[in-house]
Chains A and B, each alone.
Chain A
Amino acid sequence: MPGTRAARLLRSAASVALALLAAACSKPAPPATESPDGPHRVVALAPSMTDTLVALGLADRIVGVSDYCPDVGTTPPPVRVGGLNNLNVEAVLALRPDLVMSVQNPGDRSLVAFAERGVALYTDDPQSLAQVFASIEAIGARFHRGERAQELTRTLRERLARVEKANAGRPRPRVYVEVDAQGPWTIGRNSFVRDAVAAAGGDNLFDDVASPYPTVSEEAVATRDPDWILLLHPRDVAFEQRGAFARLRAVREDRVIADLDRDLLLHSSPRLVDGVEALAAKLHAR
C-alpha cells in the first residue's frame, strides 16, 4: 500500500534526523580553557581588533581573522573566516577559540551562536578617539597586559599631542571627508573619523550632523565650500566628471587628498594615530 510505504519512509527519515540530532548534541565541543595569561586561541572579526592585538604583541595568539583583516605576520597565518555578512560560524568554531572578538553587537546572531557554545566574547565598537583608547586598554586588560596597553595609549596620546603642538596657531582648515562617492557619503559629528580629522588640525565639514556616517547633498558640500577634500575612495574619472562639484575651490586649488590609506582612518585601531599624522602632514604641507 502506498500509504504505508510513505509512512515508513517518513518514519525512517525522522529517525535518521533524530539520530543526527542526537549525534550533534552528544558530541560535546568543550571550549578551550583559558590559560592564566589570557586567551591563546583568538578569532578577531574586525581589522581594528586584529591591529590592536598586533600592537600589543599578541599576534601569535590569533588563530582566525575576518576577510577584511590585515596580515599579522605569523606562520602559519590565521585562518580567514569570512566577513560581516558571510561569517563562517563553523570555521570559527572549528578553530576551538577561547575568545572571539568583534565590533558587532553581542546580540548579533553569529555572536550569539558562539556565546551559546561557551566561547567567550569580547565586543566593543568605539565611536570616538577617547573610546578607541579605552578599547585598546580594555583589550590589554582582557589579556592581562594592562600595563603594556597603557604604555601604548600613552605613546599614542603623546604622538597626538605632538601633532597638536605642531598645529598650534595654524588656521584650522575645513575638511570634507568623502567615504564613498555614491551618496555622497560623509562623516558626521559622532564618529571617530571626525575625531581623527580634528586631531590632525582640521574641522569636519558636517559636524552639525549627529549621524556618524550620513549621506549629504552635493549642494550642501558646494555651498560650505571646504578648504580640503579628503577622499577615502579612489579618485577616478567619475570624480572629474562630477560637474559643479569638480569645480569646487578645493579642487581648483588642488587641495584634494586621495592617496591616504583609507584603512588608517576608517578602523578604530592604534593605527588611527598613523592616519592622524599622515593627514596632518598633508593638511599643513603648505
Chain B
Amino acid sequence: MTRVRSLPKLLLLLVALLAAAAAIGLACGPTLGWNEFVVEIRLSSVVLAAVVGAGLATTGAVLQAMSGNPLADPFVLGASSGAAVGVVASYWLGIGSGSPLVFVFASLGAFAAILAVLRIARTGRRMPVQTLLLAGITVSTLGSAVILLYFTLRPYQATTAMLFLMGSLQESRWRFIAMTAAVVVPCVLLGQVVARALNAFAMGESTARHLGVDVDRMKLAFCLLSAAMVGAIVAVSGLIGFVGLIVPHMARRLVGNDHRRLLPACALGGASFLILADAVARTAAAPQTLSLGAITALCGGPYFLLLLRRRSAERDVVAPEPPP
C-alpha cells in the first residue's frame, strides 16, 4: 500500500472521508423525508459518533504505543470495563445520569483499570502480549462481576443500566455531548503534543529511556490521557468495543508508524468509522435500533482474531510453549 507522506495531503484526505461519513450519517435514518427534528436528532448522533470514535481510536493508538503491544485497546486493557464500573458505581450512589460526576467516576474507574493491568502484566522489564491480554481479561471480568452484582442487588435499575452498557449514541442531550467533547477533543489534541514521545515508546521502553524520555512520567501522562477519554466516552455512550483496535491498525497501514501522522489519522478515521457504524445501527432494522456495541464488535472481533493469528504465525510470544 502506498503511504501518504505529506501531512497536509493526509489531513485533506481524511477530512474528506469524515465529511463523506457525516453526509451518509445525516442521510441515513428511519425517516424518508425531512422534518424539523430529523436534522437535529441525526446531527446529535453524528457529532457524538465523531467525538467518541476519535477518542476511542486515539486512546487505542496511545495504549498500543505505550505498551509496545499492537493488540492493546481500551476494551482489551480493561479500561472500558473500569469506566463502566465507575458509571454503575455512580448510579449506585444515586448520582443522576445527567451529572458531571458520572464522568469523574467513569474516568477514575478507567484509570484504576489501566494501572492495574499494566502492573499485573509487567514481568521484569518486559510486558509480553499474553500476560497483557490475560491481565486485561481478568480486570474486565472483575468489572463484569461488579456490574452483575449491581444488576442483582438493584433489579429495578438493572434494565436501564443494561440498555446503557449495550452502547448507543442516541443521546439527544446536547449538554452531555458538549461535556464529552470538552474532555475528548483537548485530549486528542494533547496526543499531538506527546506524539514524539509515543514514537520513542513504540521502539521499546528502554530505547525511549535512552532517547531521553522521562519514561515513568510520560507513562503516567498517557494513562491519565486515556482514562479521561475512555471515562468521558463510556459515561455518555456505554460500551463500544474494538474501535480503538481496528482504526489504529488501518491507519498504520495508510500512514505508517509516525504518531505525528498516525494520531490525526486515527482521530479522523475513528470518527468516520463510528459515524458509519452508527448509521447502520440506526437504519438497518428501523424503526428499531440495533446495539452499536454489537455492530462494532462484529466488525472488530474477527479482525482482532486475524491479528492474533498472524502474530502467532510470526512466532511471537503468543506461541504455545513446547511440551517438556
| Interfacial residues, chain A to chain B (CB-CB below 8 A) | 67-68, 83-86, 180-185, 206, 208-209, 211, 214-220, 222-223, 225, 236-238, 241-245, 247-248
Within the complex, what minimum Cβ distance (angstroms) separates B38 from chain A? 6
- A220 and B31 contacting across the interface, CB-CB below 8 Å: yes
- A85 and B30 contacting across the interface, CB-CB below 8 Å: no
- B170 and A185 contacting across the interface, CB-CB below 8 Å: no
Q: Which of B31-65 contact A (CB under 8 A)?
A: 31, 35-38, 40-42, 44
* B210 in the interface (beta carbon within 8 A): no
- A223 and B282 contacting across the interface, CB-CB below 8 Å: no
Partner of B159, one of A180, A209, A238: A180
- A245 and B287 contacting across the interface, CB-CB below 8 Å: no
- A244 and B159 contacting across the interface, CB-CB below 8 Å: no
The 4 residue pairs across chains A and B that have the minimum distance between CB atoms: A220-B287, A222-B37, A243-B172, A182-B163
Within the complex, what minimum Cβ distance (angstroms) separates B94 from chain A? 12
Partner of A223, one of B37, B44, B158, B288: B37
Q: How far is the CA of A85 from the CA of B173 in the complex (A)?
A: 32
User: Mostly helix, strand, loop or mixed at chain A's interface?
Assistant: loop
* B289 in the interface (beta carbon within 8 A): yes
Partner of A220, one of B153, B168, B174, B286: B286
Q: How far is the CA of A237 from the CA of B174 in the complex (A)?
A: 13
- B163 and A83 contacting across the interface, CB-CB below 8 Å: no
- B30 and A182 contacting across the interface, CB-CB below 8 Å: no
Nearest opposing residue in chain A for B35, CB measure: A223
- A216 and B35 contacting across the interface, CB-CB below 8 Å: no
Nearest opposing residue in chain B for A245, CB measure: B172
Within the complex, what minimum Cβ distance (angstroms) separates B147 from chain A? 12
26 sample A-B contacts, Cβ–Cβ < 8 Å, listed by A number: A67-B155, A85-B151, A86-B152, A180-B160, A182-B159, A182-B163, A183-B163, A183-B168, A183-B289, A209-B288, A214-B288, A215-B163, A215-B289, A216-B288, A217-B282, A217-B288, A219-B282, A220-B30, A222-B37, A222-B41, A223-B35, A237-B96, A241-B176, A243-B40, A243-B41, A244-B41
- Residues of B near A85 (CB, < 8 A) are 151-152, 155, 158
Partner of B98, one of A183, A215, A217, A238: A238
Known: A67-B155, A219-B42, A220-B30. 15 other contacts (CB 8 A): A85-B158, A180-B163, A181-B160, A183-B170, A206-B287, A211-B288, A214-B288, A215-B163, A217-B170, A217-B287, A217-B288, A237-B98, A243-B40, A245-B172, A248-B37
Partner of A243, one of B38, B44, B282, B286: B44
Q: Which of B142-176 contact A (CB under 8 A)?
A: 151-153, 155, 158-160, 163-164, 168, 170, 172-176
Q: How far is the CA of A185 from the CA of B159 in the complex (A)?
A: 10
Within the complex, what minimum Cβ distance (angstroms) separates B193 from chain A? 33
Within the complex, what minimum Cβ distance (angstroms) separates B276 from chain A? 16
Nearest opposing residue in chain B for A68, CB measure: B155
Q: How far is the CA of A86 from the CA of B174 in the complex (A)?
A: 38
Please judge, given known A-B contacts A85-B151, A219-B30, A222-B35, whether A243 and B174 are in contact too, CB under 8 Å: yes
- A218 and B170 contacting across the interface, CB-CB below 8 Å: yes
* B123 in the interface (beta carbon within 8 A): no
Within the complex, what minimum Cβ distance (angstroms) separates A183 from chain B? 5
User: Which of A68, A206, A242 has the largest count of B CB atoms less than 10 A from its CB?
Assistant: A242
Within the complex, what minimum Cβ distance (angstroms) separates B99 from chain A? 10
Q: Which of B118-152 contact A (CB under 8 A)?
A: 151-152
Please judge, given known A-B contacts A206-B287, A217-B170, A217-B287, whether A238 and B38 are in contact too, CB under 8 Å: no
Q: How far is the CA of A87 from the CA of B298 in the complex (A)?
A: 33
Q: How far is the CA of A181 from the CA of B174 in the complex (A)?
A: 16
* B29 in the interface (beta carbon within 8 A): yes
Within the complex, what minimum Cβ distance (angstroms) separates A266 from chain B? 11
Please judge, given known A-B contacts A208-B287, A216-B287, whether A244 and B31 are in contact too, CB under 8 Å: no
